[in-house]
Amino acid sequence: MTTPTTVAAHAVPRSRHTGRPRVLLAPITVTPSKPLAPSHLKGLLWTDVLYRATRCVADVVHRAGQTPYHRTEQTLGFWEFLDRTRGDTGYDTLTEDEIGTLYMEFRAAGAPAPAAALRPYAEAAERGWVHPAGQRVLRLWTGYYAELGLHDPGLLRHQPPGLGLEAALERLGTLDMCLDQRGTGGPVYLDLTRYGLPLRQLVTADGRPNYLACALRDLLPLAPSFDEVVLLYDTGLDPDYQLLARVLTALGPRVRRIPVGRVPVDGRIRSARHGGWREHQARTVLAAAREQAAAPAVRLGVRLYFIAVLGPGQHESFRPDLLSQCIRRAERLLDTAGQEPSPAPLAERLARHRKDHVYVDPYRLTSQLLGRRRAAPAQDLLSAVFL
């Protein structure tokens, strides 16, 4: 098994040889317990365009492995619930809908499993074990990634964080950012009160870390080796990501936060844990798109819709008709692409979509393709970033 320190070392770009800025892209991950809903697709497509465009102007590491976040209670609790209620039932033939329905049952059950019941799952997850239900969902997701042309950051790979939980808390302590009350039977807090930020619990009194604690385990050892860290996440988690950004900034890099709004369905924003995905999940969306156009137009069209049309906010409900329009627009763009010579090198053209940051803004870049009087897109841009 690869050790955490080895993984962290391998993740650092060789910018000392290229002379280019070093960027760590760390988007929020999706728990493999349900179908990919429109909000998930939006976040994945924003991340993909940002990554592929930015790597044309910088050395970029896309850090979005699942392993560090398996320790969260929602994941371990679901796995324990499945084994307790379903036993050895197989999962290889189940759909995401069926597994998602089981996840809804778990959330509806309410009472969490005791820490002692979750401990064996946490220890196994540290060694690279993933519950068969999670493995099934991740395998299905890799198919959607391939169909959409998304960069796969290693959904099926064991990518342990560079620090154990205790080491991460100790590192926070050296930064004077940790309030550990376990000695008196209490929890552990991230303490950024000197910056005017509230205390945030990281670990419960019985030892269960939350998502923020898992992110710190993963990013604390990586951040110092980069010039810029880009955090892309759901707007509802902005308070936690303000805290995370403050911690990582203390380690040296410039930290950029990109909150991306969810996608309402019929005017309502609902968590996938409550269901309602059946008509709008990735499988359904891709099946409908596949009937309209070839793969290149689908790949470009979904990026036009989820990035440029929906934008960074969360005001517009998901509309299949507008997605279809974007796919047809993508077909026309592809028909005219490359008819004119590129006016400048690709890196120079992409750099225009940066401000005071290294990363290329996916919204500004993608929106330019929808301008009525814009020249036809260059083939090198489409191939490198959108297809």
Give the confidence band of 12 by pLDDT, cuts at 50, 70, 90: very low
Q: Round to whole Å and give the CA distance between 159 and 168.
A: 17
Take residue 42 and report the two structure tokens written for it: 């939006």
- Quote the domain boundaries for residue 273: 1-387
Averaged pLDDT, 65-86:
95
Whether the predicted pLDDT of 1 surpasses 50: no
* pLDDT at res. 254: 97
Give the confidence band of 279 by pLDDT, cuts at 50, 70, 90: confident
Looking only at the bridges linking them, the beta strands covering 188-190 and 200-203 are antiparallel
* pLDDT at res. 275: 60
Q: Count how many domains the chain has.
A: 1
| 246-250, 282-286, 371-375: range with lowest mean pLDDT | 371-375
- 339 against 173, higher pLDDT: 173
Whether the predicted pLDDT of 11 surpasses 50: no
Take residue 382 and report the two structure tokens written for it: 């489409």
Averaged pLDDT, 16-28:
88
* pLDDT at res. 10: 37
pLDDT per position as a tens digit, 174-215: 999 999 999 999 999 999 999 999 999 999 999 999 999 999
Helix axes 73-86, 132-148, angle to 10 degrees: 120
Smallest CA-to-CA distance from 323 within 150, 148, 151, 146 is with 148
Give the confidence band of 8 by pLDDT, cuts at 50, 70, 90: very low
CATH number at residue 324: 3.40.50.620
DSSP3 helix / strand / coil % (the chain, rounded to 5): 50, 10, 40
Whether the predicted pLDDT of 340 surpasses 90: no
